[in-house]
Amino acid sequence: MKKEAKSEKITEVKEGEKPKNKSKKTIIIVVTIIIILLVILAGVGTYLFMYNKKATVKYENKIKEISKQNSMAIIDYKEEVDNNTTWTYEDLESKLIDKDKLAKGTEVKITINDEVFKEGDTYTFVIGETKIDIYLNKTYTYKVFKEETEVIENKKEIVITIKDTVAPVLEGVKNQTITVGDTIDLLKGITAKDEVDGDIEVKVEGEVDTKKAGTYKVKIYAEDKSGNRAEQEMTVTVKKKTTTTTTKPSTGSSSSSSSGSGSSGSSSSGSTSGCTYTAKLKKHGYKSNDKDACNKDDQATKVAKQIADEINSKGGTQLERVRAAAERVNKYVEKATYTNQDPDYRTAYGLFFKGVYTCAGATRTLILILEQMGFTNITHANENGDTHQWVILTMDGKKGFADGQIGQADYGCHFVDDECIAAEG
pLDDT per residue over 363-398, tens digit each?
A: 999 999 999 999 988 999 999 887 899 999 999 999
CA 150, distance to chain mean position in Å, is: 49
pLDDT per residue over 326-377, tens digit each?
A: 999 999 999 999 998 899 999 999 999 999 999 999 999 999 999 999 998 8
Per-residue pLDDT, 274:
59
Mean pLDDT, residues 207-216:
92
Q: Is 99 helix (H, G, I), strand (E, B) or coil?
A: helix
pLDDT per residue over 95-133, tens digit each?
A: 999 999 999 999 999 999 999 999 999 999 988 899 999
Per-residue pLDDT, 61:
85
Per-residue pLDDT, 14:
53
**Is pTM beyond 0.75 here?**
no
Per-residue pLDDT, 275:
80
Q: Which of 354, 361, 369 is nearest to 310 (CA)?
A: 369
Mean pLDDT, residues 151-175:
91
Is residue 6 scored above 80 in pLDDT?
no
The CATH number that domain 169-239 falls under is 2.60.40.10
Mean pLDDT value across the chain? 84
Ranges of each domain in the chain: 75-163, 169-239, 278-424
The CATH number that domain 278-424 falls under is 3.10.620
Give the side-chain half-sphere CA count within 13 A for 107. Answer: 9
The pLDDT > 90 percentage for the chain reads 56
Is residue 265 scored above 70 in pLDDT?
no
The Cα 66–Cα 57 span in angstroms is 14
CB 167, CB 229: distance < 8 Å? yes
CA 264, distance to chain mean position in Å, is: 60
